[in-house]
């Protein structure tokens, strides 16, 4: 996207974030990776509903300022996503109330209850708490970024990303909408989950249609446990190198190895390994 269009669209997205109560005060931040690789980001301490196009800050991919405007203090979160996901060109971070309620309650948005959400967003995991604008936050997000298009951050809020700023915004909105429906369904006595068979079909449809690729099959999510589908993210534990996932032939996502030297893990095993990896860094 060229700089002029990006300035206009970031301001428009900022207005929508504010109008829809996904941010208040100076919460949240939005950025776009321009065609030439520079990052155009919302400025620090600014209400996103009242930004002007000339208030936005330009940086390089390392966050080095390329204009006299100061970018959001959360820019590191955006840069991490751009580095991990070359096809992503926009990031939207906000504190939408229902999604943030999940983050505050220590819950992921990963119940297989809405077919469209499995098709277009996939599950939204919860990254461990990290102090905003520090390495703690980006380290907690790192193992999850490759395999999801939106994350919750514990006791903080949500971030979504996409090929352009509208896809990033739409994913954030789907996250919030899903959280809201889940809360309402729980108030009515609880949502009923889609069957493993239905989930498997949806995953096949989304990969065939190109909505989400195989990287979105992640064992840290709730979706896959009872289906015959597994993922190869275990290959990348520690490095999350993003090796292409495979479909299991044994119909179960249990811990074990196969002839190709690849391993599959249960969700609990993966979570345990990830927490060990994170703890090692401290
Ligand atoms: Zn925030």
pLDDT at 224: 74
Selecting among 15, 53, 74, 136, the annotated active-site residue is: 74
Helix (H, G, I), strand (E, B) or coil at 177: helix
Residue 230: pLDDT band with limits 50, 70, 90: low
Query: Residue 83 C-alpha to ligand 1 middle, in angstroms?
Result: 20
Strands (E), the chain: 29-33, 39-41, 57-59, 90-94, 126-127, 150-153, 157-162, 256-257, 263-264
Strand partners for 264: 256
Q: How do residues 152-188 score in pLDDT, each as one tens digit?
A: 999 999 999 999 999 999 999 999 999 999 999 999 9
Using CA atoms, how far apart are residues 206 and 213, in angstroms rounded to an integer? 8
pLDDT at 219: 58
Residues surrounding ion ligand 1 at CB below 5 Å = 157
Exposed, middle or buried, 161 (CB in 10 Å: 0-12/13-18/19+)? buried
Is residue 149 a contact partner of residue 164, using CB atoms and an 8 Å limit? no
Q: How do residues 190-227 score in pLDDT, each as one tens digit?
A: 999 999 899 989 999 999 999 888 888 875 666 776 67
pLDDT at 100: 98
Query: Residue 158 C-alpha to ligand 1 middle, in angstroms?
Result: 8
Tokens 């996901």 identify what position? Answer: 85
| 116 catalytic per annotation | no
pLDDT at 106: 96
Residues 6+ apart with CB under 8 A from 17: 23, 28, 30, 48, 49, 92, 94, 169
Using CA atoms, how far apart are residues 214 and 232, in angstroms rounded to an integer? 9
pLDDT at 272: 63
Is residue 84 a contact partner of residue 145, using CB atoms and an 8 Å limit? yes
pLDDT at 227: 74
pLDDT at 133: 84
CA atoms within 13 A on the CB side of 19: 7
Strand partners for 158: 94, 152
Query: Residue 250 C-alpha to ligand 1 middle, in angstroms?
Result: 42
pLDDT at 215: 82
- What number is the average pLDDT over the span 39-55? 96
Q: Is the predicted pLDDT of residue 278 greater than 80, yes or no?
A: no
Query: Residue 24 C-alpha to ligand 1 middle, in angstroms?
Result: 11
Q: How do residues 80-125 score in pLDDT, each as one tens digit?
A: 999 999 999 999 999 999 999 999 999 999 999 999 999 999 999 9
Q: Is the predicted pLDDT of residue 246 greater than 50, yes or no?
A: no
Q: Is the predicted pLDDT of residue 236 greater than 70, yes or no?
A: no
pLDDT at 216: 83
Predicted TM-score of the model (pTM): 0.80
pLDDT at 268: 63
Query: Residue 152 C-alpha to ligand 1 middle, in angstroms?
Result: 11
Residue 271: pLDDT band with limits 50, 70, 90: low
Query: Residue 96 C-alpha to ligand 1 middle, in angstroms?
Result: 10
- What number is the average pLDDT over the span 69-77? 94
Interior angle at CA 243, CA 237 and CA 244, nearest 5: 130
Q: How do residues 142-153 score in pLDDT, each as one tens digit?
A: 999 999 999 999
Q: How do residues 119-134 score in pLDDT, each as one tens digit?
A: 999 999 999 999 988 8
Q: How do residues 247-263 score in pLDDT, each as one tens digit?
A: 333 333 333 333 344 45
Helix (H, G, I), strand (E, B) or coil at 88: coil
Number of Cβ within a 10 Å radius of residue 124: 28
- What number is the average pLDDT over the span 56-60? 97
First to last CA, the chain: 39
Query: Residue 156 C-alpha to ligand 1 middle, in angstroms?
Result: 6
């Amino acid at each position: 996207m060229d700089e002029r269009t990006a300035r206009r669209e970031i301001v428009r997205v900022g207005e929508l974030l504010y109008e829809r109560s996904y941010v208040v005060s100076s919460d949240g931040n939005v950025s776009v990776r321009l065609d030439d690789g520079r990052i155009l980001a919302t400025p620090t301490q600014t209400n996103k509903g009242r930004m002007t196009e000339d208030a936005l800050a330009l940086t390089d991919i390392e966050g080095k300022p390329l204009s006299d405007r100061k970018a959001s203090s959360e820019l590191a979160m955006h840069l991490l996503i751009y580095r991990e996901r070359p096809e992503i060109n926009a990031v939207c971070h906000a504190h939408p109330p229902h999604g943030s309620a999940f983050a505050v309650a220590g819950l992921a948005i990963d119940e297989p209850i809405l077919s469209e959400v499995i098709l277009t967003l996939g599950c939204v995991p919860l990254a461990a708490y990290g102090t905003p604008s520090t390495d703690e936050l980006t380290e907690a997000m790192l193992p999850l970024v490759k395999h999801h298009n939106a994350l919750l951050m514990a006791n903080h809020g949500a971030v979504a990303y996409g090929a352009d700023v509208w896809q990033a915004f739409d994913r954030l909105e789907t996250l919030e909408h899903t959280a809201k429906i889940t809360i309402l369904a729980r108030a009515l006595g609880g949502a009923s989950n889609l069957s493993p068979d239905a989930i498997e079909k949806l995953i096949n449809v989304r990969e065939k249609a190109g909505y989400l690729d195989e990287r979105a099959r992640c064992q840290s999510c709730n979706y896959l446990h009872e289906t015959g589908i597994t993922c190869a993210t275990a290959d990348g534990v520690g490095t999350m190198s993003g090796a292409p996932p495979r479909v299991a032939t044994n119909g179960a996502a249990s811990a074990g190895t196969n002839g190709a030297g690849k391993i599959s893990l249960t969700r609990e095993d993966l979570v345990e390994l990830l927490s060990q990896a994170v703890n090692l860094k401290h």
